[in-house]
Amino acid sequence: MIDLPSHGRFEGREHRLPVRVYYEDTDFTGVVYHGAYVRFFERGRSDFLRTAGIGHAELLEGDAPTAFVVSAMSLKFLKPARIDDALLVRTRYEAIKGPRLMIRQAIERGGEVLCEAEVEAVCIHMDGRPRRPTQALLAAVRPWLAPSNSQG
């Protein structure tokens, strides 16, 4: 049997991804470096899509190759995470507005929120121009959006 990494699971509209804090994620005091939270949030957004049935490689290989750029991110640090902590990255895709995906995320430890993020990601053509999401991407994300925000 081969053990494969988990890409998390859905609970309601929310994707949940367990992550572990490693030495490389921390500063010399064992506290998670602020930039590591951005990496944890990226994993949450990517694994949300993977769990919903669409991967980044699939988006790049289609007839209309698509990628993402983060155009805005707001982080609120509430409490520190530390080396060896078991964390949970919670991701909720809130809305799709034209080429923009509005996403809310949180990182928690034992039910206590440590960091929150509001993210705006933009679908782009490979030349960097904004583009509307592909039909495959819309179909994968739409079931997880709030009913009033499921338009593309």
The one catalytic residue in 27, 47, 63, 127 is: 27
Q: Is 27 a catalytic residue?
A: yes
Four-CA torsion 31, 36, 42, 45, nearest 10 degrees: 0
Q: Do the Cβ atoms of 60 and 68 come closer than 8 Å?
A: no
* H helical segments located in 28-105: 34-52, 56-61
Q: How many angstroms separate the CA atoms of 145 and 141, rounded?
A: 7
In sequence order, what DSSP letters do the residues of 104-139 get, joined into one string? EEEEEETTEEEEEEEEEEEEE-TTS-B-PPPHHHHH
Q: How many angstroms separate the CA atoms of 3 and 5, rounded?
A: 7
Q: Which residues are catalytic?
A: 27
